[in-house]
Amino acid sequence: MTDRYLEPHQARKRTPTTYEDLLGDAIERAFAAGAHDLSALVQSLNDSGLASPSGKPWTEEIYRQEIAGLANQQA
C-alpha cells in the first residue's frame, strides 16, 4: 500500500516561479529567525531585499493581497 502523504507537492498544479521560490525562502528564513506575527514577517521581508510585486516596501496589506493572489492561482 502506498502512503498518500508521501508526495510533498500533491496539491501543486504547476512548478513555482522563481519569484514564488524566493518569496517562500524569505518567509521560511523569517520564521526561522523568530518572526511570529505578521508585522515581524513583513519587516523581515523588507530586510531581505526581496521587492514586493509593486516594487514598494512590503506592508501587511500588500502581503495579504499577494498571498491571496498566489493562493487563487493555485485553486
The pLDDT of residue 45:
98
Q: What is the distance between the alpha carbons of residues 37 and 44, in angstroms, rounded to a whole number? A: 11
Residue 70 pLDDT > 80 = yes
Q: What is the distance between the alpha carbons of residues 15 and 9, in angstroms, rounded to a whole number? A: 10
- Give the DSSP letter string of 51-70: PPTTSSPP-HHHHHHHHHHH
The pLDDT of residue 72:
85
Residue 1 pLDDT > 70 = no
Beta-strand ranges (E) seen in 1-75 are none
The pLDDT of residue 20:
94
Residue 5 pLDDT > 80 = no
Mean pLDDT, residues 48-71: 95
Contact between 30 and 46 (Cβ < 8 Å):
no
The pLDDT of residue 14:
81
